[in-house]
Amino acid sequence: MNFDLDEDQSLLKSAVERFARDRYGGDIARRRGYRMTATGFSPENWAALADLGLLALPFATADGGLGGGAIELIAVFEALGRGLVVEPLLDSIIVAGGLLDRAGTDAQRAAWLPGIIAGTKRLALAHAETAARYNLAHVETRAATSGDSVRLSGVKTFVLAAAGADALIVSATEAGTVSFYLVPVDTPGLSIQPFRVVDGSIGAEVALRDVCVPASARLRHGLDALDTIVAQAALAASAEMLGLMTLLLDTTLDYVNTRQQFGTPLGKFQVIQHRLADAYMGIENARSALYRAAIAAPDPRAAAGAKALISEAAITVGHTAIQLHGGMGMTDELLIGHAHKRIMLLAHHFGDARATLDRYLDAA
């Protein structure tokens, strides 16, 4: 079977690689500067991604998007991982934007999609709760409808990309049914407490204290739409981890072929070669699993299976890279630490490997 990208897909991936080269170039200090902003990424880079059309990736051409499918998705996110890009395309575009696109009303989509694609508006999904762990159906936040308005009360945790967002998509339960609501961040009663997560990005805890929104803020679809978005996110996260794994292996190969011990490059020692060969095999197995899931898309089971396998492989490659760099591998001055921390977050995105395997079994 031919897995080569066609001309348009190759151009799309090249655009991401050029962006990463021009805006990052492997410069850890520059990347750290992006992370230290109030939003955890560069607003100028976000605008540049919009100019390149990359924020339009998952949306239909009729809405001004690129109409990208699974192949385009993994091509873009593998390049983002390889470039250690910090801009939140996964959480703002694929997750929150994708959920609005799939579950929103016509009025909501018309009001928000053009701004999302242009990079002038951003959304974040506020769904996770402490008691839920990785159970996506467990929602304790309550909704109470009264006439033409709805009151929301509860607490959301680990809300990624919330810093600087214009609105949140909040899940809440009413009469045993989970629905999503579009809530502007300046709505009275809504508070956002930001914090740094493992990869240096910004998450938030969101408290809703009798937050009143119009009934028209309710999205058309609930958890059924989220299941599809989670599968999309699993593909994107898996592709990004594949790019990060490749970056880690290439960086480690350069290091062991340069660093000498007893007058010999570390790469000449057989035990080091065995470790690197194992890492290479892990990457190639991950690539095969990702391609299979992309071909099967939009099959949630294939996406979950790929993410479970790739998460464990990526963490193993990260451990290998850190160990082969010795004491330096634990510092924040090398890109391998930054890459491994990003892998740790992606591996737990919407569920760790065990929770993702449970999702895989449920979909069987």
Name all contacts of 274-281 with Cβ < 8 Å and 24+ positions apart: 275/320, 275/323, 275/324, 276/249, 276/252, 276/320, 276/324, 278/320, 279/245, 279/248, 279/249, 279/252, 279/316, 279/317, 279/320, 279/321, 280/249
156 lies in some domain = yes
Q: Please compute the mean of the pLDDT values over residues 93-105 and round it to a whole number.
A: 98
Q: What angle do CA 308, 311, 312 make, to 5 degrees?
A: 90
Same domain, 257 and 319: yes
Does residue 350 carry a pLDDT above 90?
yes
Checking phi first, is residue 94 left (phi over 0); if not, alpha (psi -120 to 50) or beta?
Answer: alpha
pLDDT at 364: 67
**Positive or negative torsion for Cα 29, 74, 56, 190:** negative
Question: Among the listed ranges 181-185, 233-237, 304-308, 354-358, which one has the minimum average pLDDT value?
Answer: 354-358
> CB–CB of 108/182 below 8 Å?
yes
> CB–CB of 100/218 below 8 Å?
no
- The residue to which tokens 């809530």 are assigned: 183
Cα gap 233→355, rounded to integer Å:
15
How many Cβ atoms are within 10 Å of 128's Cβ, its own excluded? Answer: 21
Q: What CATH number did the domain enclosing 211 receive?
A: 2.40.110.10
Residue that terminates a domain, selected from 118, 149, 176: 118
Residue that terminates a domain, selected from 118, 151, 182: 118
- What average pLDDT does the structure give for the chain? 94
pLDDT at 328: 83
Same domain, 204 and 152: yes
Residue that terminates a domain, selected from 118, 147, 175: 118
Same domain, 263 and 233: yes
Q: Which residues pair with 264 in a beta bridge?
A: 261
Using CA atoms, how far residue 352 sits from 13, 137, 233, 315, 349, in Å, is 28, 16, 13, 12, 7
pTM of this structure: 0.96
Same domain, 213 and 339: no
Does residue 1 carry a pLDDT above 60?
no
For 181-228, what is each residue's pLDDT tens digit?
A: 999 999 999 999 999 999 999 999 999 999 999 999 999 999 999 999
Q: Please compute the mean of the pLDDT values over residues 116-144 and round it to a whole number.
A: 96
300 lies in some domain = yes
Cα gap 86→78, rounded to integer Å:
13
Cα gap 249→242, rounded to integer Å:
11
Q: What DSSP assignment string belongs to 309-333? A: HHHHHHHHHHHHHHHHTGGGGGSTT
Same domain, 228 and 355: yes
Same domain, 112 and 88: yes
In the chain, count H helices and then E strands.
11, 9
Q: 292 exposed, middle or buried (CB, 10 Å; 0-12, 13-18, 19+)?
A: middle
Same domain, 214 and 229: no
Strand (E) positions, the chain?
123-126, 142-146, 149-156, 167-174, 177-184, 190-196, 202-214, 260-261, 264-265
255 lies in some domain = yes
174 lies in some domain = yes
Same domain, 159 and 198: yes
Number of domains within the chain:
3
Cα gap 216→193, rounded to integer Å:
26
Q: Please compute the mean of the pLDDT values over residues 12-19 and round it to a whole number.
A: 96
Same domain, 270 and 350: yes
Same domain, 153 and 26: no
Q: Which domain holds residue 101?
A: 7-118
Q: What angle do CA 280, 25, 66 make, to 5 degrees?
A: 85
Q: What CATH number did the domain enclosing 38 receive?
A: 1.10.540.10
Same domain, 338 and 241: yes
Percentage, residues of the chain above pLDDT 70:
99
For 292-328, what is each residue's pLDDT tens digit?
A: 999 998 889 999 999 999 999 999 999 999 999 987 8
Measured in whole angstroms, how far is the alpha carbon of residue 276 from the centre of its chain? 27
pLDDT at 363: 74
Question: Among the listed ranges 115-124, 181-190, 242-251, 291-300, which one has the minimum average pLDDT value?
Answer: 291-300
Cα gap 321→326, rounded to integer Å:
9
Same domain, 183 and 261: no
Give backbone dihedrals phi and psi of 173, rounded to 5 degrees, phi first: -105, 135
Q: What CATH number did the domain enclosing 286 receive?
A: 1.20.140.10
What letter does residue 93 receive in the DSSP assignment?
I
For 22-56, what is each residue's pLDDT tens digit?
A: 999 989 999 999 999 999 999 999 999 999 999 99
